A = this chain, B = another copy of it.
C-alpha cells in the first residue's frame, strides 16, 4: 500500500499545519532534510491537550496525544513535500518531550504512540532514531511536544 492508502485505511485525514504560536515557522528544508518544529499535543479540534504524565494524564492518554502529534507532523510534512508524502525517503529522528511529574519514567511508552503510527504509515522508511525524555513543562501546558527530522526526495 502507498502512504495515502495506509492513511485512508487508518481513517486519518491530514490537515495543513496550524500557524506557529510564536516567531518561527513550522518547518525548514535544507538540502534533502526537513527539520520540523516541535509540535504540541492537540485534540482533533485544535485545542491543546493540557496536563502532566504521572499526575493527571495516563500513559494511554499520553500515547493517544503522541499519536495526534504524529498526525499533525505528517500534515506539516506533506506541505514540506509540496503535497506528496510519497517523496518521504526516511523518517530520520524524533525528539519527544513528555511533560512529566518527578517520578514518571515511561516516556518511551508514551512516545510509542507517535513512533508506531509512523511505522504503520511509512513502513521501513518510517523506522527512526529517537530520544524521549521528561521535561519540567511545555508551552501552553501541553502534555507532550515532538519535533522531527525527515529525509525527502
Contact = CB atoms under 8 A, between A and B. Distances in A.
Given A35-B93, A93-B35, A151-B30, A25 B128 contact: yes
A31 B21 CA distance: 31
A12 interface: no
Interface residues of A, number: 59
This chain: how many copies in the complex?
A: 3
A113 to B, nearest CB: 9
A69 to B, nearest CB: 12
Contacts of A87: none
Contact of A105 (B94, B131, B138, B151): B138
A134 interface: yes
A25 B129 contact: yes
18 contacts: A22-B111, A22-B130, A23-B112, A24-B127, A26-B129, A28-B128, A30-B151, A37-B93, A37-B130, A38-B131, A38-B133, A97-B131, A100-B137, A102-B136, A105-B140, A107-B138, A135-B135, A135-B136
Interface of A: 20-28, 30-33, 35-38, 89-95, 97, 100-109, 111-112, 115-116, 119, 127-141, 145, 147, 149, 151
